[in-house]
Structure 1
């Protein structure tokens, strides 16, 4: 007779330690194990051999569910397939789908590329994928993802106004799918076809000061009481040497040679791809007289156990935060939520210097070398390795003299002619 739910509920283990087998019908039975666990089993024959198929655990799998699974297994058997082997194949397909999901392959690609990137950048790339790609397409087999599905993801990012993020996400998906194709886990790369349909971000120049705005800016810096003296000196270095904020606040006293008026910025402090830092050269910055004097003033604030020229006074072992000058600019009315006097960012000082020096007639190559820009022309990059050190020294001294006059109240006098 078929098994009843009451019989299944009341079934107790045998006292001899062997499984108790309660038959239902059509090969289905309930096995009550010595520890009290109850398992559904289906007995069937395949190619003359008796086999058994597990159909779940009672009571999580009820009697009704067990019978439905039994009937499905018998249909598979009637169609000429071993249900046990079908189950193994289905499990393998699930495992392969997980291994070949877009998330799995994206993480595989990220692991390889992260070895070449700075840790901070690697984390940012992974966060982008976790935020925009994985929630909707992460579990899908990468071979099944279509261009339309990817475009839907990208359009969502664009719709949020994050055009540059969408562009970078497409580039990363392109690399991920390329890995899938090369490794035989996908037949085509849908991201490659989307390059022409993405919205193009409009590049905006960094907010910077025009030449006629310099006197007012210096007046604001010189008259404010809401800025520490060290921050004031930091602005002087940034504007005169037009170095990047990151490499400036990371400057150590061991990098500064005041006797020879030279600042050596090591590769690890430069804005370079992580994989290039090990083989890159340091960036040499000749120091005009005013900046030599600035560093001598900063020496009076030097902390015994802190190697940095611009130390953090909240964290005695660390350097000043890159955000410090931005906060100071906001208080002056030039940044953040307070732009009543204009809009400036620290990177904009580089644009101001470059614009004025180029318009005045200084050697553009010397200006670019001072900016530590990478030569885009491969041939020039290979053969034009000149540091322009002495030319840059003369140029920076002219620039420092000019800024000093503006700071002292002159009405934007013209820069001396290029030498």
Structure 2
């Protein structure tokens, strides 16, 4: 049987199918070509199957140059030899064998495509989950909008603390990834700076924030839960610093030379003579201070316990407010900030007093007062809150009933029964207590 030639394959079609044939492997199949009247040139592999049936299996379409989707004569001959080789190896049902192979290839291909699709879907799902995971910064912002906004300062002080000491370490972490060690990393950094009380405060705030997250199903477990607050910086020690009479006299001599602003110097004596909280004073507005009637109204929103408080001003206290008034005549605030669009920071006076009570070996802080020991007293460091405690202590030493002194401090009665049934206002007694305190301070500072 002669070989099929390109000349035969490109010959002009006839009026009926023209068949050409050549042996692929003798006894195991032949390459067959068919030229149809319409000009189609097709290749087949002809063989005998296991049932002794003569099968003509299509294998391709002819083109001389083997353009895409077609076969050259040589390629067709090679394919026929491969199929004949299968027949010779014992595979008689070529068509079924090829269909089985193709089905297997399709199955493998589909499985691979399914695997790739599944991996892609898993990756996309993971990316979506990752994008949906709140980080600590997002949690803090959520907490601030829901909880912190209800605080007197709108959460400004907590935000300042977190932006300085918490968010730089934890801000970008996913909330669910935060562990106990990350919490202690924050508090350890504060303890290393020697600010133990601040470490405790920030720990408590972090605990509030993570419990907020648990309540909203953002996390299943509060990472601060297994940390005992007492372990953060040791046990809290309640301050009991009270300035002695001699220290008050000494303070009267030291303050004019301490380089304080006159308003800050006056704040010392207002805090001592009214037993107010320094934050209440620094947030005061002149509309609430009546120097003629000798009354200072502290609104509920400026009071720590949320209760409005009326302070009767002694002559001593009025004179201090008058000194402040000289420097803030154009402001609605007693202690305005630099822009005059609000009060100064509540820590302003505390920092000024602290800067002037540094021990000789501690040196001078950068950009702070050079008079680093100007307000040191024999009994040790003191704070504006110690002045409040001192004022109340002096009251009781002068015969004021402790219950009246407590009212002057605007403390909430701890005994529920007393809170409920004892409604006497003690207004007269409180006014008398403030006058007695002012008169006493007038005497001891006048002789300083």
> Scaled by the length of structure 1, what TM-score is found?
0.62
Per-residue displacement from partner, 1:211-244 (whole Å, max 9, x unpaired)?
33122222334x6484565555444323211222
Per-residue displacement from partner, 1:112-171 (whole Å, max 9, x unpaired)?
223223231342354243034235xx13x60x5544554455445444444334434443
1:77: Cα distance to partner? 4.2
Per-residue displacement from partner, 1:72-110 (whole Å, max 9, x unpaired)?
xx99945x9542233222222232234234524444334
> Which residue of the other structure, out of 297, 304, 307, is the alignment partner of 1:264?
297
SS at match of 1:344: coil
| 1:237 partnered with 2:270 | yes
- CA pair 202-285 structure 1, distance change in 2 beyond 3 A: same
**Equivalence for 2:167:** 130
Query: How is 1:70-149 mapped onto 2 (pairs within 5 angstroms)?
Result: 77=111, 81-103=114-136, 104-117=138-151, 118-119=153-154, 120-124=156-160, 126-127=162-163, 128-134=165-171, 138-139=173-174, 142=176, 145-148=178-181
Unmatched 5+ stretches in structure 1 = 1-46, 51-73, 273-279, 411-419
- CA pair 356-96 structure 1, distance change in 2 beyond 3 A: same
> Which residue of the other structure, out of 369, 388, 391, is the alignment partner of 2:426?
388
Contact 1:311-1:319 within 8 A present in 2 as well: yes
- CA pair 75-153 structure 1, distance change in 2 beyond 3 A: farther
The 1-side partners of 2:211 and 2:387 are apart by: 40
The 1-side partners of 2:273 and 2:230 are apart by: 43
The 2-side partners of 1:216 and 1:193 are apart by: 48
The 1-side partners of 2:203 and 2:247 are apart by: 40
The 2-side partners of 1:340 and 1:401 are apart by: 24
Contact 2:280-2:298 within 8 A present in 1 as well: yes
Per-residue displacement from partner, 1:43-74 (whole Å, max 9, x unpaired)?
xxxx99x9xxxxxxxxxxxxxxxxxxxxxxx9
Contact 1:326-1:345 within 8 A present in 2 as well: no
The 1-side partners of 2:261 and 2:161 are apart by: 36
Higher mean Cα deviation, 174-183 or 324-333?
324-333
- CA pair 212-114 structure 1, distance change in 2 beyond 3 A: same
1:395: Cα distance to partner? 1.0
SS at match of 1:124: helix
> Scaled by the length of structure 2, what TM-score is found?
0.59
The 1-side partners of 2:269 and 2:345 are apart by: 16
The 2-side partners of 1:226 and 1:114 are apart by: 37
The 2-side partners of 1:337 and 1:189 are apart by: 43
The 1-side partners of 2:334 and 2:125 are apart by: 60
- CA pair 76-105 structure 1, distance change in 2 beyond 3 A: farther
Rg (Cα) greater in structure: 2
The 1-side partners of 2:139 and 2:391 are apart by: 45
The 2-side partners of 1:83 and 1:194 are apart by: 45
Per-residue displacement from partner, 1:257-295 (whole Å, max 9, x unpaired)?
3443221112233335xxxxxxx4421001223334555
Contact 1:150-1:190 within 8 A present in 2 as well: yes
The 1-side partners of 2:392 and 2:215 are apart by: 44
Contact 2:241-2:386 within 8 A present in 1 as well: yes
1:350: Cα distance to partner? 0.6
| 1:357 partnered with 2:357 | no
Query: How is 1:319-398 mapped onto 2 (pairs within 5 angstroms)?
Result: 323=348, 327=352, 337-338=372-373, 341-342=376-377, 343-384=381-422, 386-398=424-436
Contact 2:285-2:333 within 8 A present in 1 as well: yes
The 1-side partners of 2:317 and 2:292 are apart by: 12
Paired residues, number: 326
| 1:283 partnered with 2:345 | no
Contact 2:294-2:318 within 8 A present in 1 as well: yes
| 1:164 partnered with 2:197 | yes
1:403: Cα distance to partner? 0.8
The 2-side partners of 1:75 and 1:189 are apart by: 48
| 1:213 partnered with 2:251 | no
- CA pair 291-76 structure 1, distance change in 2 beyond 3 A: farther
Give the superposed CA RMSD: 4.1
1:399: Cα distance to partner? 0.9
The 2-side partners of 1:227 and 1:149 are apart by: 41
SS at match of 1:115: helix
SS at match of 1:372: coil
**Equivalence for 2:12:** none
1:393: Cα distance to partner? 1.0
Unmatched 5+ stretches in structure 2 = 1-102, 360-368
- CA pair 75-383 structure 1, distance change in 2 beyond 3 A: farther
